[in-house]
Structure 1
Amino acid sequence: MTRAEEFQELRPLLFSIAYRILGSVGEAEDAVQEAWLRYDAYPGRPASAKAFLAATVSRIAIDVLRSARVRREQYTGRWFPEPLLADPYEDPERSAELADSLSMAALLLLERLSPLERAVFVLREVFGFGFGEVAAAVGRSEAACRQLAVRARRHMEAGRARFETDRRERDELAGRFFDAFRDGDVDGLRDLLAADVRMVGDSGGNAPLWGTGVFGAGKVARVLAGIAGPFVRIGGVVQPHEVNGQPGAIFRDRDGRIVNTLTLDILSGRVQTIRAVINPDKLRHLGPVADAWAIVREANQARRPTPRP
Protein backbone atom coordinates (compact mmCIF):
# COMPACT_ATOMS: atom_id res chain seq x y z
CA MET A 1 0.00 0.00 0.00
CA THR A 2 1.38 3.42 -0.92
CA ARG A 3 1.72 6.23 1.58
CA ALA A 4 -1.17 8.11 -0.08
CA GLU A 5 -3.37 5.00 0.10
CA GLU A 6 -2.58 4.53 3.80
CA PHE A 7 -3.50 8.14 4.45
CA GLN A 8 -6.79 7.93 2.56
CA GLU A 9 -7.75 4.80 4.48
CA LEU A 10 -7.06 6.55 7.79
CA ARG A 11 -8.54 9.92 6.80
CA PRO A 12 -12.01 9.28 8.36
CA LEU A 13 -10.37 8.44 11.71
CA LEU A 14 -8.10 11.49 11.55
CA PHE A 15 -10.99 13.84 10.80
CA SER A 16 -13.07 12.34 13.61
CA ILE A 17 -10.23 12.85 16.10
CA ALA A 18 -9.60 16.43 14.97
CA TYR A 19 -13.29 17.37 14.94
CA ARG A 20 -13.82 16.18 18.51
CA ILE A 21 -10.78 18.11 19.71
CA LEU A 22 -11.67 21.29 17.79
CA GLY A 23 -15.47 21.30 17.37
CA SER A 24 -14.98 22.84 13.94
CA VAL A 25 -15.37 21.10 10.59
CA GLY A 26 -13.16 23.54 8.70
CA GLU A 27 -10.38 23.51 11.28
CA ALA A 28 -10.53 19.70 11.48
CA GLU A 29 -10.21 19.39 7.70
CA ASP A 30 -7.25 21.79 7.74
CA ALA A 31 -5.59 19.76 10.52
CA VAL A 32 -6.01 16.55 8.53
CA GLN A 33 -4.51 18.16 5.42
CA GLU A 34 -1.54 19.44 7.44
CA ALA A 35 -1.07 15.93 8.89
CA TRP A 36 -0.86 14.56 5.35
CA LEU A 37 1.79 17.12 4.36
CA ARG A 38 3.90 16.15 7.37
CA TYR A 39 3.42 12.46 6.69
CA ASP A 40 4.32 12.87 3.03
CA ALA A 41 7.49 14.76 3.97
CA TYR A 42 8.49 12.33 6.73
CA PRO A 43 11.73 10.47 5.86
CA GLY A 44 11.38 6.71 5.91
CA ARG A 45 8.28 4.83 7.07
CA PRO A 46 6.95 4.96 10.65
CA ALA A 47 6.32 1.59 12.34
CA SER A 48 2.58 2.37 12.41
CA ALA A 49 0.98 4.82 10.00
CA LYS A 50 -2.12 4.94 12.20
CA ALA A 51 -0.18 5.85 15.35
CA PHE A 52 1.98 8.38 13.50
CA LEU A 53 -0.92 10.14 11.80
CA ALA A 54 -3.16 10.10 14.88
CA ALA A 55 -0.37 11.64 16.93
CA THR A 56 0.37 14.21 14.23
CA VAL A 57 -3.23 15.34 13.76
CA SER A 58 -3.71 15.48 17.55
CA ARG A 59 -0.67 17.73 18.04
CA ILE A 60 -1.83 20.01 15.23
CA ALA A 61 -5.35 20.16 16.70
CA ILE A 62 -4.00 20.98 20.18
CA ASP A 63 -2.04 23.93 18.76
CA VAL A 64 -5.07 25.15 16.80
CA LEU A 65 -7.32 24.82 19.86
CA ARG A 66 -4.94 26.87 21.99
CA SER A 67 -5.08 29.75 19.52
CA ALA A 68 -8.85 29.31 19.04
CA ARG A 69 -9.53 29.67 22.76
CA VAL A 70 -8.98 33.45 22.61
CA ARG A 71 -11.39 33.80 19.67
CA ARG A 72 -14.03 31.72 21.42
CA GLU A 73 -13.76 33.78 24.61
CA GLN A 74 -14.44 36.91 22.52
CA TYR A 75 -17.23 35.27 20.51
CA THR A 76 -20.56 37.11 20.37
CA GLY A 77 -23.17 35.14 22.33
CA ARG A 78 -23.08 31.40 22.89
CA TRP A 79 -20.50 29.32 21.06
CA PHE A 80 -21.61 25.93 19.69
CA PRO A 81 -19.62 23.44 17.63
CA GLU A 82 -20.17 23.42 13.90
CA PRO A 83 -22.92 20.90 13.12
CA LEU A 84 -21.89 17.57 11.64
CA LEU A 85 -24.46 15.52 9.75
CA ALA A 86 -22.49 12.26 9.62
CA ASP A 87 -19.34 10.94 11.27
CA PRO A 88 -17.11 9.50 8.52
CA TYR A 89 -15.43 7.06 10.92
CA GLU A 90 -17.18 3.87 11.98
CA ASP A 91 -15.97 1.30 14.48
CA PRO A 92 -18.56 -1.23 15.70
CA GLU A 93 -16.49 -2.02 18.78
CA ARG A 94 -16.57 1.61 19.92
CA SER A 95 -19.88 2.72 18.44
CA ALA A 96 -21.32 3.79 21.82
CA GLU A 97 -18.30 5.96 22.69
CA LEU A 98 -18.21 7.45 19.21
CA ALA A 99 -21.91 8.34 19.21
CA ASP A 100 -21.88 9.78 22.73
CA SER A 101 -18.79 11.91 22.11
CA LEU A 102 -20.28 13.44 18.96
CA SER A 103 -23.34 15.04 20.56
CA MET A 104 -23.51 18.81 21.01
CA ALA A 105 -23.81 18.29 24.77
CA ALA A 106 -20.61 16.21 24.92
CA LEU A 107 -18.66 18.59 22.67
CA LEU A 108 -19.67 21.51 24.88
CA LEU A 109 -18.48 19.58 27.94
CA LEU A 110 -15.16 19.00 26.19
CA GLU A 111 -14.86 22.78 25.84
CA ARG A 112 -14.42 22.94 29.63
CA LEU A 113 -11.24 20.86 29.47
CA SER A 114 -7.75 22.13 28.78
CA PRO A 115 -6.45 21.34 25.28
CA LEU A 116 -4.25 18.53 26.65
CA GLU A 117 -7.09 17.03 28.72
CA ARG A 118 -9.36 17.20 25.71
CA ALA A 119 -6.90 15.45 23.41
CA VAL A 120 -6.13 12.75 25.99
CA PHE A 121 -9.84 12.13 26.61
CA VAL A 122 -10.62 11.91 22.88
CA LEU A 123 -7.71 9.58 22.08
CA ARG A 124 -8.07 7.33 25.13
CA GLU A 125 -11.76 7.28 26.06
CA VAL A 126 -13.34 7.75 22.64
CA PHE A 127 -10.94 6.00 20.26
CA GLY A 128 -9.29 3.55 22.66
CA PHE A 129 -5.62 4.37 22.03
CA GLY A 130 -3.15 2.94 24.52
CA PHE A 131 -1.50 5.29 26.98
CA GLY A 132 1.84 4.86 25.21
CA GLU A 133 0.31 6.12 21.97
CA VAL A 134 -1.50 8.94 23.80
CA ALA A 135 1.73 10.00 25.51
CA ALA A 136 3.53 10.13 22.17
CA ALA A 137 0.71 12.17 20.66
CA VAL A 138 0.57 14.88 23.34
CA GLY A 139 4.24 14.93 24.35
CA ARG A 140 3.74 13.92 27.97
CA SER A 141 4.72 10.88 30.01
CA GLU A 142 2.34 7.94 30.34
CA ALA A 143 1.91 8.74 34.04
CA ALA A 144 1.00 12.34 33.25
CA CYS A 145 -1.48 11.16 30.60
CA ARG A 146 -3.14 8.84 33.10
CA GLN A 147 -3.62 11.81 35.44
CA LEU A 148 -4.94 13.94 32.59
CA ALA A 149 -7.38 11.17 31.67
CA VAL A 150 -8.64 10.88 35.25
CA ARG A 151 -9.23 14.64 35.48
CA ALA A 152 -10.94 14.73 32.10
CA ARG A 153 -13.25 11.81 32.96
CA ARG A 154 -14.15 13.46 36.25
CA HIS A 155 -15.09 16.73 34.54
CA MET A 156 -17.06 14.95 31.82
CA GLU A 157 -18.97 12.74 34.25
CA ALA A 158 -19.80 15.67 36.52
CA GLY A 159 -21.48 17.59 33.71
CA ARG A 160 -22.93 14.76 31.65
CA ALA A 161 -26.67 14.15 31.53
CA ARG A 162 -27.80 10.59 30.92
CA PHE A 163 -29.53 10.80 27.58
CA GLU A 164 -32.15 8.42 26.29
CA THR A 165 -30.53 5.13 25.35
CA ASP A 166 -33.46 3.60 23.46
CA ARG A 167 -32.89 4.91 19.97
CA ARG A 168 -36.32 3.85 18.70
CA GLU A 169 -38.17 5.74 21.45
CA ARG A 170 -35.90 8.74 21.02
CA ASP A 171 -36.49 8.92 17.27
CA GLU A 172 -40.24 8.39 17.69
CA LEU A 173 -40.45 11.31 20.14
CA ALA A 174 -38.39 13.49 17.78
CA GLY A 175 -40.78 12.64 14.95
CA ARG A 176 -43.76 13.71 17.06
CA PHE A 177 -41.91 16.89 18.02
CA PHE A 178 -41.30 17.97 14.43
CA ASP A 179 -44.85 17.03 13.41
CA ALA A 180 -46.21 19.26 16.18
CA PHE A 181 -43.75 22.00 15.22
CA ARG A 182 -44.80 22.04 11.57
CA ASP A 183 -48.47 22.13 12.64
CA GLY A 184 -47.82 24.99 15.07
CA ASP A 185 -49.41 22.80 17.77
CA VAL A 186 -48.64 24.54 21.07
CA ASP A 187 -50.27 21.88 23.25
CA GLY A 188 -48.63 19.06 21.31
CA LEU A 189 -45.23 20.68 21.69
CA ARG A 190 -45.73 21.40 25.39
CA ASP A 191 -46.53 17.74 26.04
CA LEU A 192 -43.14 16.71 24.64
CA LEU A 193 -41.04 19.28 26.50
CA ALA A 194 -39.50 18.97 29.96
CA ALA A 195 -40.85 21.54 32.40
CA ASP A 196 -37.44 23.25 32.55
CA VAL A 197 -36.61 22.89 28.86
CA ARG A 198 -34.29 25.49 27.38
CA MET A 199 -33.97 26.65 23.78
CA VAL A 200 -30.65 28.32 22.98
CA GLY A 201 -28.85 29.30 19.81
CA ASP A 202 -25.54 30.31 18.28
CA SER A 203 -25.72 33.18 15.81
CA GLY A 204 -22.31 34.71 16.45
CA GLY A 205 -24.00 38.08 15.99
CA ASN A 206 -24.39 37.24 12.29
CA ALA A 207 -28.05 36.15 12.29
CA PRO A 208 -31.26 36.94 14.18
CA LEU A 209 -31.71 35.16 17.51
CA TRP A 210 -34.26 35.10 20.33
CA GLY A 211 -32.09 36.90 22.89
CA THR A 212 -30.11 34.77 25.34
CA GLY A 213 -32.56 31.88 25.11
CA VAL A 214 -36.10 30.78 25.89
CA PHE A 215 -36.83 28.77 29.02
CA GLY A 216 -39.75 26.71 30.31
CA ALA A 217 -42.16 24.42 28.46
CA GLY A 218 -44.92 26.99 27.97
CA LYS A 219 -42.70 29.74 26.58
CA VAL A 220 -40.67 27.40 24.37
CA ALA A 221 -43.82 25.80 22.94
CA ARG A 222 -45.34 29.22 22.12
CA VAL A 223 -42.13 30.51 20.51
CA LEU A 224 -41.74 27.36 18.41
CA ALA A 225 -45.36 27.46 17.27
CA GLY A 226 -44.99 31.16 16.46
CA ILE A 227 -41.96 30.46 14.30
CA ALA A 228 -43.42 27.48 12.45
CA GLY A 229 -46.51 28.95 10.78
CA PRO A 230 -44.91 31.94 9.05
CA PHE A 231 -41.81 29.92 8.13
CA VAL A 232 -43.88 27.25 6.38
CA ARG A 233 -46.11 29.86 4.73
CA ILE A 234 -43.14 31.51 3.01
CA GLY A 235 -42.00 28.14 1.63
CA GLY A 236 -39.63 27.12 4.42
CA VAL A 237 -38.95 23.41 4.85
CA VAL A 238 -38.13 21.57 8.09
CA GLN A 239 -36.09 18.50 7.15
CA PRO A 240 -35.67 16.04 10.04
CA HIS A 241 -32.07 14.82 10.04
CA GLU A 242 -29.59 13.50 12.59
CA VAL A 243 -27.20 16.25 13.60
CA ASN A 244 -24.13 15.29 15.63
CA GLY A 245 -25.65 11.87 16.16
CA GLN A 246 -28.76 13.36 17.80
CA PRO A 247 -32.33 13.85 16.58
CA GLY A 248 -32.45 17.14 14.76
CA ALA A 249 -33.44 18.99 11.65
CA ILE A 250 -32.15 21.22 8.89
CA PHE A 251 -34.25 24.31 8.14
CA ARG A 252 -34.19 25.38 4.49
CA ASP A 253 -35.72 28.28 2.60
CA ARG A 254 -37.91 27.79 -0.48
CA ASP A 255 -34.79 27.52 -2.66
CA GLY A 256 -33.24 24.79 -0.53
CA ARG A 257 -30.66 27.02 1.12
CA ILE A 258 -29.83 26.32 4.77
CA VAL A 259 -31.26 28.66 7.39
CA ASN A 260 -30.16 26.79 10.52
CA THR A 261 -29.78 23.39 12.13
CA LEU A 262 -31.54 22.18 15.27
CA THR A 263 -30.65 19.41 17.72
CA LEU A 264 -32.72 17.89 20.53
CA ASP A 265 -31.37 16.54 23.83
CA ILE A 266 -33.85 13.89 25.00
CA LEU A 267 -33.98 12.43 28.51
CA SER A 268 -36.72 10.45 30.26
CA GLY A 269 -39.12 10.79 27.35
CA ARG A 270 -38.94 14.59 27.17
CA VAL A 271 -37.00 17.17 25.19
CA GLN A 272 -34.59 18.78 27.65
CA THR A 273 -32.59 21.16 25.44
CA ILE A 274 -33.05 22.54 21.94
CA ARG A 275 -29.92 23.94 20.32
CA ALA A 276 -29.96 25.93 17.10
CA VAL A 277 -26.90 26.85 15.04
CA ILE A 278 -27.83 29.95 13.03
CA ASN A 279 -24.42 31.51 12.41
CA PRO A 280 -23.99 31.28 8.60
CA ASP A 281 -20.22 30.91 9.00
CA LYS A 282 -20.84 27.58 10.76
CA LEU A 283 -23.25 26.28 8.11
CA ARG A 284 -21.40 26.85 4.84
CA HIS A 285 -19.82 23.38 4.84
CA LEU A 286 -23.35 21.94 4.60
CA GLY A 287 -24.26 23.79 1.39
CA PRO A 288 -25.57 27.17 0.21
CA VAL A 289 -26.73 29.33 3.14
CA ALA A 290 -29.83 31.52 3.21
CA ASP A 291 -30.01 35.13 4.35
CA ALA A 292 -31.57 34.59 7.78
CA TRP A 293 -32.35 38.30 8.21
CA ALA A 294 -34.34 38.28 4.98
CA ILE A 295 -36.16 35.12 6.09
CA VAL A 296 -37.20 36.78 9.35
CA ARG A 297 -38.42 39.91 7.56
CA GLU A 298 -40.48 37.84 5.13
CA ALA A 299 -41.85 35.64 7.94
CA ASN A 300 -42.84 38.70 9.95
CA GLN A 301 -44.66 40.03 6.91
CA ALA A 302 -46.49 36.70 6.61
CA ARG A 303 -47.68 37.07 10.21
CA ARG A 304 -49.52 40.28 9.44
CA PRO A 305 -53.18 39.95 8.49
CA THR A 306 -53.97 40.70 4.86
CA PRO A 307 -55.74 44.10 4.64
CA ARG A 308 -59.38 43.87 3.63
CA PRO A 309 -60.27 45.47 0.28
Structure 2
Amino acid sequence: MRTGELLLLLCLTFANCQSAIGQRANMDERRALPFLPQEQLVYEGEFSKLILRNINIAEFRFAARFDDAPPPAINTREAANPPSKCQRAPGLLRLTGEARADGWFHKLFGINFRYRIESKVDPESFAVLETRRYDEQGSRVRVDCAVFDRQRDQVTWIEKDPKHPAQRPNTITSQIGDALYDILSAIYVLRTKPLAPGAQFEMIISDAGHPYHVPVKVAEIKRLKTILGEVETVRLEVGIFGENGLVRRDGRMSLWMTTDPKRIPVRAELSSDLGTLSIKLKRISYDPQAVAAEVQGSPVECMGAESDSAAARLKD
Protein backbone atom coordinates (compact mmCIF):
# COMPACT_ATOMS: atom_id res chain seq x y z
CA MET A 1 0.00 0.00 0.00
CA ARG A 2 1.38 3.42 -0.96
CA THR A 3 2.14 6.13 1.60
CA GLY A 4 -0.68 8.33 0.35
CA GLU A 5 -3.19 5.51 0.68
CA LEU A 6 -2.02 4.69 4.21
CA LEU A 7 -2.26 8.33 5.28
CA LEU A 8 -5.74 8.49 3.82
CA LEU A 9 -6.59 5.44 5.91
CA LEU A 10 -5.62 7.36 9.06
CA CYS A 11 -7.77 10.31 8.01
CA LEU A 12 -10.76 8.10 7.36
CA THR A 13 -10.12 6.27 10.62
CA PHE A 14 -10.77 9.49 12.50
CA ALA A 15 -13.83 10.23 10.39
CA ASN A 16 -15.12 6.76 11.19
CA CYS A 17 -13.99 5.98 14.69
CA GLN A 18 -12.99 9.09 16.56
CA SER A 19 -14.98 8.16 19.66
CA ALA A 20 -17.28 5.19 19.80
CA ILE A 21 -18.47 3.09 22.67
CA GLY A 22 -20.43 -0.09 22.08
CA GLN A 23 -21.73 -0.45 25.62
CA ARG A 24 -25.51 -0.15 25.85
CA ALA A 25 -26.33 3.12 27.57
CA ASN A 26 -28.69 3.21 30.56
CA MET A 27 -30.90 6.02 29.36
CA ASP A 28 -32.32 6.73 32.83
CA GLU A 29 -28.83 7.59 34.06
CA ARG A 30 -27.89 9.87 31.18
CA ARG A 31 -28.03 13.61 31.48
CA ALA A 32 -29.78 15.76 28.88
CA LEU A 33 -28.23 15.28 25.44
CA PRO A 34 -25.43 17.87 25.11
CA PHE A 35 -25.97 18.44 21.38
CA LEU A 36 -29.68 19.35 21.55
CA PRO A 37 -31.32 20.66 19.44
CA GLN A 38 -28.57 20.91 16.79
CA GLU A 39 -24.79 21.20 16.63
CA GLN A 40 -22.02 21.48 14.03
CA LEU A 41 -18.34 20.72 14.75
CA VAL A 42 -15.50 21.50 12.30
CA TYR A 43 -11.95 20.16 12.72
CA GLU A 44 -8.64 20.50 10.88
CA GLY A 45 -6.16 17.67 10.50
CA GLU A 46 -2.38 18.17 10.61
CA PHE A 47 0.17 15.54 9.58
CA SER A 48 3.72 15.23 10.93
CA LYS A 49 6.48 12.82 9.86
CA LEU A 50 10.24 13.29 9.61
CA ILE A 51 10.84 16.67 7.93
CA LEU A 52 7.12 17.31 7.45
CA ARG A 53 5.69 19.28 10.37
CA ASN A 54 2.15 20.48 11.03
CA ILE A 55 0.88 20.41 7.45
CA ASN A 56 -2.88 20.83 7.17
CA ILE A 57 -4.13 17.96 5.02
CA ALA A 58 -7.83 17.55 5.78
CA GLU A 59 -10.99 19.10 7.20
CA PHE A 60 -13.51 17.12 9.25
CA ARG A 61 -17.13 18.19 9.80
CA PHE A 62 -19.74 16.66 12.11
CA ALA A 63 -23.37 17.65 12.64
CA ALA A 64 -26.34 16.45 14.70
CA ARG A 65 -30.00 17.39 14.26
CA PHE A 66 -33.41 16.01 15.17
CA ASP A 67 -36.08 15.40 12.53
CA ASP A 68 -39.74 16.18 13.14
CA ALA A 69 -41.06 12.75 12.14
CA PRO A 70 -41.50 10.24 15.00
CA PRO A 71 -39.08 7.30 14.95
CA PRO A 72 -40.33 3.79 14.21
CA ALA A 73 -40.83 1.37 17.09
CA ILE A 74 -37.85 -0.88 17.70
CA ASN A 75 -37.44 -3.89 19.90
CA THR A 76 -34.57 -3.11 22.29
CA ARG A 77 -34.20 -3.37 26.02
CA GLU A 78 -33.43 0.35 26.20
CA ALA A 79 -36.75 1.27 24.59
CA ALA A 80 -38.49 -0.11 27.67
CA ASN A 81 -36.57 2.40 29.81
CA PRO A 82 -36.81 5.74 27.95
CA PRO A 83 -35.02 8.84 29.23
CA SER A 84 -36.74 11.58 31.19
CA LYS A 85 -38.89 14.14 29.38
CA CYS A 86 -36.07 16.66 29.17
CA GLN A 87 -34.07 14.11 27.15
CA ARG A 88 -36.81 13.19 24.70
CA ALA A 89 -36.70 14.31 21.08
CA PRO A 90 -39.62 14.63 18.65
CA GLY A 91 -38.22 12.37 15.94
CA LEU A 92 -35.18 10.66 14.50
CA LEU A 93 -31.69 11.86 15.32
CA ARG A 94 -29.72 12.52 12.13
CA LEU A 95 -25.92 12.52 12.35
CA THR A 96 -23.38 13.33 9.64
CA GLY A 97 -19.61 13.19 9.44
CA GLU A 98 -17.44 14.26 6.53
CA ALA A 99 -13.72 14.35 5.75
CA ARG A 100 -12.26 16.26 2.80
CA ALA A 101 -8.68 16.58 1.59
CA ASP A 102 -7.01 19.94 2.01
CA GLY A 103 -4.74 21.32 -0.71
CA TRP A 104 -1.54 19.92 0.80
CA PHE A 105 -2.79 16.35 0.67
CA HIS A 106 -3.16 16.52 -3.11
CA LYS A 107 0.25 18.20 -3.48
CA LEU A 108 1.98 15.56 -1.37
CA PHE A 109 0.25 12.40 -2.58
CA GLY A 110 -1.38 13.23 -5.91
CA ILE A 111 -4.98 12.34 -5.02
CA ASN A 112 -8.01 13.97 -3.44
CA PHE A 113 -10.49 12.29 -1.15
CA ARG A 114 -13.94 12.84 0.26
CA TYR A 115 -15.60 10.60 2.84
CA ARG A 116 -19.13 11.14 4.16
CA ILE A 117 -21.16 9.06 6.62
CA GLU A 118 -24.77 9.59 7.67
CA SER A 119 -26.68 7.83 10.43
CA LYS A 120 -30.33 7.71 11.42
CA VAL A 121 -30.72 6.98 15.12
CA ASP A 122 -33.60 6.41 17.51
CA PRO A 123 -33.15 9.24 20.06
CA GLU A 124 -34.45 7.28 23.05
CA SER A 125 -32.55 4.00 22.78
CA PHE A 126 -29.78 5.47 20.57
CA ALA A 127 -30.07 2.34 18.41
CA VAL A 128 -28.86 3.01 14.88
CA LEU A 129 -31.51 2.38 12.21
CA GLU A 130 -29.58 3.17 9.05
CA THR A 131 -26.05 4.07 7.96
CA ARG A 132 -25.06 5.60 4.61
CA ARG A 133 -21.51 6.18 3.36
CA TYR A 134 -19.85 7.83 0.38
CA ASP A 135 -16.14 7.09 -0.14
CA GLU A 136 -14.19 8.88 -2.89
CA GLN A 137 -10.44 8.30 -3.19
CA GLY A 138 -9.13 9.79 -6.40
CA SER A 139 -10.89 8.01 -9.26
CA ARG A 140 -12.25 5.28 -6.96
CA VAL A 141 -15.79 5.85 -5.64
CA ARG A 142 -17.90 3.56 -3.46
CA VAL A 143 -21.28 4.02 -1.79
CA ASP A 144 -22.73 1.71 0.82
CA CYS A 145 -25.74 1.43 3.08
CA ALA A 146 -26.56 -0.62 6.16
CA VAL A 147 -30.11 -1.15 7.43
CA PHE A 148 -30.58 -2.46 10.97
CA ASP A 149 -33.67 -4.62 11.53
CA ARG A 150 -33.94 -4.75 15.32
CA GLN A 151 -36.98 -7.03 15.28
CA ARG A 152 -35.05 -9.70 13.37
CA ASP A 153 -31.67 -8.91 14.97
CA GLN A 154 -30.27 -8.50 11.47
CA VAL A 155 -28.16 -5.94 9.62
CA THR A 156 -27.94 -5.90 5.84
CA TRP A 157 -25.01 -4.04 4.28
CA ILE A 158 -24.72 -3.31 0.55
CA GLU A 159 -21.82 -1.63 -1.27
CA LYS A 160 -21.99 -0.36 -4.87
CA ASP A 161 -19.62 1.18 -7.38
CA PRO A 162 -21.62 4.10 -8.87
CA LYS A 163 -19.26 4.28 -11.84
CA HIS A 164 -20.26 0.71 -12.79
CA PRO A 165 -23.99 0.46 -11.99
CA ALA A 166 -24.33 -2.88 -13.79
CA GLN A 167 -21.76 -4.48 -11.51
CA ARG A 168 -23.14 -6.78 -8.85
CA PRO A 169 -23.09 -5.06 -5.42
CA ASN A 170 -21.31 -6.54 -2.44
CA THR A 171 -23.86 -7.70 0.13
CA ILE A 172 -23.47 -8.93 3.71
CA THR A 173 -26.31 -9.97 6.02
CA SER A 174 -25.45 -10.80 9.61
CA GLN A 175 -26.73 -10.69 13.17
CA ILE A 176 -26.61 -7.35 14.98
CA GLY A 177 -25.96 -8.93 18.37
CA ASP A 178 -24.62 -6.44 20.92
CA ALA A 179 -23.62 -3.82 18.34
CA LEU A 180 -26.28 -1.24 19.16
CA TYR A 181 -24.43 1.63 17.44
CA ASP A 182 -22.56 2.35 14.25
CA ILE A 183 -19.22 4.14 14.14
CA LEU A 184 -20.73 7.64 13.91
CA SER A 185 -23.61 7.44 16.37
CA ALA A 186 -21.37 5.99 19.06
CA ILE A 187 -19.42 9.23 19.53
CA TYR A 188 -22.60 10.96 20.60
CA VAL A 189 -23.39 8.18 23.06
CA LEU A 190 -19.92 8.57 24.55
CA ARG A 191 -20.60 12.26 25.11
CA THR A 192 -23.55 11.39 27.36
CA LYS A 193 -21.60 9.08 29.69
CA PRO A 194 -19.70 9.86 32.90
CA LEU A 195 -15.99 9.18 32.33
CA ALA A 196 -13.82 8.71 35.41
CA PRO A 197 -10.04 8.21 35.09
CA GLY A 198 -9.19 4.52 35.23
CA ALA A 199 -12.53 3.38 33.81
CA GLN A 200 -12.36 0.89 30.94
CA PHE A 201 -14.92 -0.17 28.36
CA GLU A 202 -15.18 -2.50 25.40
CA MET A 203 -16.68 -0.99 22.29
CA ILE A 204 -18.78 -3.19 20.02
CA ILE A 205 -19.23 -1.44 16.69
CA SER A 206 -21.07 -2.58 13.58
CA ASP A 207 -19.10 -1.61 10.47
CA ALA A 208 -19.77 -2.94 6.94
CA GLY A 209 -21.90 -5.72 8.38
CA HIS A 210 -19.25 -6.93 10.83
CA PRO A 211 -18.96 -6.41 14.61
CA TYR A 212 -15.69 -5.08 16.04
CA HIS A 213 -14.58 -5.16 19.68
CA VAL A 214 -12.57 -2.07 20.58
CA PRO A 215 -11.13 -1.40 24.06
CA VAL A 216 -11.41 2.11 25.53
CA LYS A 217 -9.56 3.40 28.59
CA VAL A 218 -10.20 6.70 30.40
CA ALA A 219 -6.56 7.71 30.87
CA GLU A 220 -6.39 11.10 32.60
CA ILE A 221 -7.79 14.57 33.21
CA LYS A 222 -5.73 17.31 31.54
CA ARG A 223 -6.06 21.01 30.75
CA LEU A 224 -5.59 21.94 27.08
CA LYS A 225 -5.47 25.18 25.13
CA THR A 226 -8.23 25.09 22.50
CA ILE A 227 -10.37 27.47 20.49
CA LEU A 228 -12.71 27.39 23.49
CA GLY A 229 -9.89 28.70 25.69
CA GLU A 230 -7.95 26.67 28.23
CA VAL A 231 -10.34 23.90 29.23
CA GLU A 232 -10.29 20.77 31.37
CA THR A 233 -10.44 17.62 29.25
CA VAL A 234 -10.57 13.88 29.71
CA ARG A 235 -8.21 11.81 27.55
CA LEU A 236 -9.37 8.47 26.18
CA GLU A 237 -7.17 5.75 24.71
CA VAL A 238 -9.10 4.02 21.93
CA GLY A 239 -7.84 0.66 20.64
CA ILE A 240 -8.78 0.82 16.98
CA PHE A 241 -5.43 -0.59 15.81
CA GLY A 242 -4.32 -4.23 15.85
CA GLU A 243 -4.62 -7.53 14.03
CA ASN A 244 -8.38 -7.75 14.65
CA GLY A 245 -9.00 -4.01 14.86
CA LEU A 246 -10.72 -1.53 12.62
CA VAL A 247 -7.22 -0.60 11.40
CA ARG A 248 -5.09 -3.72 10.92
CA ARG A 249 -1.68 -2.29 11.74
CA ASP A 250 0.22 -1.11 14.80
CA GLY A 251 -0.68 2.30 16.14
CA ARG A 252 -2.24 4.37 18.91
CA MET A 253 -5.23 6.69 19.15
CA SER A 254 -6.04 9.27 21.84
CA LEU A 255 -9.13 11.46 22.11
CA TRP A 256 -9.68 14.50 24.34
CA MET A 257 -13.17 15.72 25.32
CA THR A 258 -14.16 18.61 27.59
CA THR A 259 -15.34 17.61 31.06
CA ASP A 260 -18.17 20.18 31.10
CA PRO A 261 -21.77 19.12 30.32
CA LYS A 262 -21.23 19.66 26.55
CA ARG A 263 -18.50 16.97 26.38
CA ILE A 264 -17.10 18.48 23.19
CA PRO A 265 -14.34 16.48 21.42
CA VAL A 266 -11.57 19.07 21.04
CA ARG A 267 -8.60 17.00 19.90
CA ALA A 268 -7.52 13.58 18.62
CA GLU A 269 -4.18 12.03 17.70
CA LEU A 270 -3.52 8.92 15.62
CA SER A 271 0.06 7.65 15.52
CA SER A 272 1.59 4.84 13.48
CA ASP A 273 4.68 4.14 11.40
CA LEU A 274 3.22 6.58 8.85
CA GLY A 275 3.54 9.51 11.23
CA THR A 276 1.09 11.38 13.46
CA LEU A 277 -2.26 12.81 12.46
CA SER A 278 -3.35 15.54 14.90
CA ILE A 279 -6.96 16.70 14.66
CA LYS A 280 -8.12 19.85 16.46
CA LEU A 281 -11.45 21.61 16.83
CA LYS A 282 -11.54 24.68 14.59
CA ARG A 283 -15.13 25.86 14.84
CA ILE A 284 -18.40 25.05 16.59
CA SER A 285 -21.87 26.27 15.60
CA TYR A 286 -25.40 25.87 16.90
CA ASP A 287 -26.97 27.73 13.96
CA PRO A 288 -30.02 25.78 12.68
CA GLN A 289 -29.44 26.79 9.04
CA ALA A 290 -25.78 25.75 9.06
CA VAL A 291 -26.63 22.38 10.59
CA ALA A 292 -29.54 21.83 8.19
CA ALA A 293 -27.25 22.49 5.22
CA GLU A 294 -24.71 20.03 6.62
CA VAL A 295 -27.15 17.12 6.97
CA GLN A 296 -28.88 17.64 3.62
CA GLY A 297 -27.71 16.77 0.15
CA SER A 298 -26.57 13.21 0.68
CA PRO A 299 -24.65 11.72 -2.29
CA VAL A 300 -25.82 8.27 -1.20
CA GLU A 301 -29.17 6.91 -2.34
CA CYS A 302 -30.34 4.47 0.27
CA MET A 303 -33.47 2.72 1.44
CA GLY A 304 -35.27 3.97 4.54
CA ALA A 305 -35.05 2.17 7.86
CA GLU A 306 -38.60 0.95 7.40
CA SER A 307 -37.70 -0.98 4.23
CA ASP A 308 -38.57 -4.68 4.23
CA SER A 309 -35.65 -5.52 1.97
CA ALA A 310 -32.28 -3.90 2.45
CA ALA A 311 -31.17 -4.93 -1.01
CA ALA A 312 -34.20 -3.99 -3.06
CA ARG A 313 -33.73 -0.26 -3.59
CA LEU A 314 -29.93 -0.24 -3.81
CA LYS A 315 -30.09 -2.84 -6.57
CA ASP A 316 -32.57 -0.80 -8.62
Same fold (TM over 0.5): no
The structure that is strand-richer by fraction is 2
Between structure 1 and structure 2, the one with the greater Rg is 1
TM-score of the two chains, using structure 2 as the length reference: 0.24
The structure that is helix-richer by fraction is 1
Q: With CA pairs under 8 Å and 6+ residues apart, which has the higher RCO, 1 or 2?
A: 2
TM-score of the two chains, using structure 1 as the length reference: 0.24
